[in-house]
Amino acid sequence: MAIDFTVRHMKKSDLDAVFLIEEECFSVPWSKRSLSEAFSHTPWQFFVAEHEKNIVGYGGVYMILDEGQISNIAVLSSFRGNGIGFAILNKIIDHSKAQGAVRITLELRESNNPARALYEKCGFIQVGCRPNYYTHPVENAILMDKNL
């Protein structure tokens, strides 16, 4: 059965919880300091998913002129498959539109089928590939775009 959650703007007090999600979900996580600096930097906007007062997912987007660049969307493994990633991504899309973006871009590991399926479900298409872009392990990056 689906769980109840809400997606809202991230607050400074969410930083520790978001950092834990980064650590759980990525082999090369953002440091707490990088997250904190990005959080305080206006072109960035972060959203969190909250379930019973716990932060269980988050996503971030960086606005450059008329383009939104998604940094990450991540959901704690035990909460996946409940529509949380989809809800965070839609929040990012709505936010980017409201900021006047005409396009959203992102990159992801070539083997990341769950994320690719999520982005395709929301209308993103593959527009390129950066060979050996990622480390730990080395892997190609797939570039995806969505026109708003």
Ligand X SMILES: CC(C)(COP(=O)(O)OP(=O)(O)OC[C@H]1O[C@@H](n2cnc3c(N)ncnc32)[C@H](O)[C@@H]1OP(=O)(O)O)[C@@H](O)C(=O)NCCC(=O)NCCS
Q: Is 62 a catalytic residue?
A: no
Residue 18 backbone dihedrals phi, psi, to 5 degrees: -65, -40
Q: Which is nearer to ligand X, 20 or 100 (CB)?
A: 20
Partners of 73 in the β-ladder: 59
Closest CA to 9 of 98, 79, 102: 98
Q: Which is nearer to ligand X, 102 or 117 (CB)?
A: 117
Residue of 22, 50, 58, 119 marked catalytic: 119
* Binding residues vs ligand X (CB under 6 A): 25, 72-75, 80-86, 108, 112-115, 117-118, 121
Considering Cα of 85, then 87, then 96, then 30, what sign does the dihedral take?
negative
Q: How far is the CB of 81 from ligand X (least distance, A)?
A: 5
How far is the C-alpha of 102 from the C-alpha of 87, rounded, in Å?
A: 20
Q: Which is nearer to ligand X, 10 or 73 (CB)?
A: 73
Residue of 62, 67, 107, 110 marked catalytic: 107
**Which residues are marked as active site?**
107, 119
